[in-house]
Homo-oligomer: A and B are copies of this chain.
Amino acid sequence: MSVTSEVRVRYAETDQMGVVYYSNYLVLFEIGRVELMRSLGMAYSQLEEAYGCILPVAEARCRYRASARYDDILQIETRPALVRKSMVKFAYKIWRKTSEGEERKLLAEGETTHVVCDKEMKMARLPEKYVTALKALITEE
């Protein structure tokens, strides 16, 4: 099961090729995983504040299929792809939303792998309720 967020492309995100600059897709991925956590009733900001737990990225990967353009409405589809006590992997699909009746277009897909750390960047464990909620999403899929 995945969670979908919508954002509109900002002028600031385009480059002189007239399309969204390639690093900005990783910002979209971040929006996606934050919304996925929020949809579970567990804001990422809370994870950081209440549990002193951060999720630095160990690896990021993006495959670009078609260009996002200024003012496009993008749908960011995020799902947990792997959940371990000290590691989480999310998978993303970025779609261009289209008018009713038309099929939406896949623009990019990717994955990010996160290690669970405390605020001193030492290996830590993801709080149990996060593990459970994320794993439930994978099972449902």
Residues in A lying within 8 Å of B, measured CB to CB: 10-12, 14-19, 21-27, 30-31, 34, 43-45, 54, 56-64, 67, 70-71, 121
- State A63–B26 Cα separation when bound (angstroms): 13
| CB-defined contacts of A61 to chain B, threshold 8 Å | 59-62
| CB-defined contacts of A70 to chain B, threshold 8 Å | 16, 45
| CB-defined contacts of A18 to chain B, threshold 8 Å | 16
B54 touches A17 (CB 8 A): yes
| CB-defined contacts of A31 to chain B, threshold 8 Å | 10
| CB-defined contacts of A54 to chain B, threshold 8 Å | 17
Known: A22-B57, A23-B23, A71-B44. A12 touches B15 (CB 8 A): yes
Q: How far is the CB of A115 from chain B (nearest CB, A)?
A: 9
